[in-house]
Amino acid sequence: MYKLIDGKAHAAAMRREIACGVAEYRRKYGRDIGLAVVFVGDNSASKVYVRNKIKACEEAGVKSFAYYLPATATQSEVEELVKSLAVDKSVDGILVQLPLPAGLNADAVLSLIPVEKDVDGFSESNIGSLCMNKPCLVACTPNGVMRMLRREGIEIKGKRAVVIGRSNIVGKPMAMLLLNADATVTVCHSRTQNLKEICLSADIVVAAIGRAKFITADMIKEGAVVVDVGMNRDEDGKLCGDVDFANVKDKCSYITPVPGGVGPMTITMLLYNTLAAAERSVGL
Ligand code: GUN
């Protein structure tokens, strides 16, 4: 019998703790914690994510500064905005929602976010620190996965973990976090040969591929922990993950659902990072 990992419940519990931290910060230092969100263009998925991030800020007592730029915004307009936020003392964290519209250079924009305000953990410096297992701001989705595994009491040390997907946002930092937690990690991707055999060796599978129901029951070892980072639409237009949940679940010891698994933890970790950035700015 599998156990469903309730990301919503974990997220709610963590958000209560974060809200207490935010209130205490305000009491101690006499100012709000601020998160700047930069959204360029009108990508419909991004719109939903940004709306949810701003709502989560409100609920946690974090002040949000939302900047909506049209898809026609130029590289220098976006860069000037980020540069002004970089030196704004009321802004503890800066988030540039990705993807940026075609024609804009995201790397150049992200490189203008000071490392201590990089609450997405996407900067080269934060990723480098993560690789070296040094304290840093960690990308929200993979960090949320780690939190959820820890809160469930799932052992990672010495386990075989397989991460499917090698994006800078999820796959790579996920692999690093699992490695830092003493797992033996394999990263698979679209060119991997023998994917099924590799997955079958895994005690922990993290699916971050972006293809609906790609991970099937024949790829999963009996008793494995399966974490689904995917957010797709199936043939009926229904929200689904990268894992064929209905068929995979009975092989698992633990599995995350979509929706209600990893998703709620991602925004929670954004709040967590924003509080951490504010605390670090006063030397905590
Ligand atoms: N686009 C998809 N996921 C993310 C994320 O976690 N942060 C940002 N900034 N953009 C995204």
Environment class of 48 (CB within 10 Å of its CB; exposed 0-12, middle 13-18, buried 19+): exposed
Q: Which one from 92, 97, 213, 242 is the annotated catalytic residue?
A: 97
Among 86, 109, 84, residue whose Cα is nearest residue 98? 109
Quote the ligand 1 centre to 131 CA distance (angstroms). 20
Position in ligand 1 atom list of the atom nearest CA 140: 6
Residue ranges lining ligand 1, Cβ < 6 Å? 95-98, 120, 140-141, 169
Residue nearest to ligand 1 atom 2, measured at CA: 98
pLDDT of res. 108 = 97
Instruction: With beta carbons less than 8 A apart as the criterion, state whether 123 and 113 touch.
Output: yes
Quote the ligand 1 centre to 98 CA distance (angstroms). 5
Strands 252-255 and 224-228: parallel
Environment class of 16 (CB within 10 Å of its CB; exposed 0-12, middle 13-18, buried 19+): exposed
Is it true that domain 140-263 has CATH number 3.40.50.720?
yes
Position in ligand 1 atom list of the atom nearest CA 99: 1
The residues of the chain that CATH labels 3.40.50.720 are: 140-263
CATH architecture of 30-115: 3-Layer(aba) Sandwich (3.40)
Q: Which one from 118, 120, 203, 244 is the annotated catalytic residue?
A: 120
Residue nearest to ligand 1 atom 1, measured at CA: 98
Mutate to test the pocket of ligand 1, among 43, 46, 49, 274 (most ligand atoms within 8 A of CB): 49
Beta carbons within 8 Å of 239's beta carbon, 6+ residues apart: 231, 232, 233, 258, 259
Quote the ligand 1 centre to 2 CA distance (angstroms). 30
Q: Which one from 53, 63, 117, 213 is the annotated catalytic residue?
A: 53
Task: Tell me the C-alpha distance between 13 and 148, whole Å.
Answer: 11
The DSSP line for the chain is: --EE--HHHHHHHHHHHHHHHHHHHHHHHSS--EEEEEEES--HHHHHHHHHHHHHHHHHT-EEEEEEE-TT--HHHHHHHHHHHHT-TT-SEEEE-SSPPTTS-HHHHHTTS-GGG-TT--SHHHHHHHHTT-S----HHHHHHHHHHHHTT---TT-EEEEE---TTTHHHHHHHHHHTT-EEEEE-TT-SSHHHHHHT-SEEEE-S--TT-B-GGGS-TTEEEEE---EE-TTS-EE-SB-HHHHGGGEEEE--SSSSHHHHHHHHHHHHHHHHHHHHTT-
Annotated catalytic, 193? no
The residues of the chain that CATH labels 3.40.50.10860 are: 30-115
Task: Please give the chain's pLDDT, 284 residues, in tens.
Answer: 999 999 999 999 999 999 999 999 999 999 999 999 999 999 999 999 999 999 999 999 999 999 999 999 999 999 999 999 999 999 999 999 999 999 999 999 999 999 999 999 999 999 999 999 999 999 999 999 999 999 999 999 999 999 999 999 999 999 999 999 999 999 999 999 999 999 999 999 999 999 999 999 999 999 999 999 999 999 999 999 999 999 999 999 999 999 999 999 999 999 999 999 999 999 88
Q: What is the pTM of this model?
A: 0.96
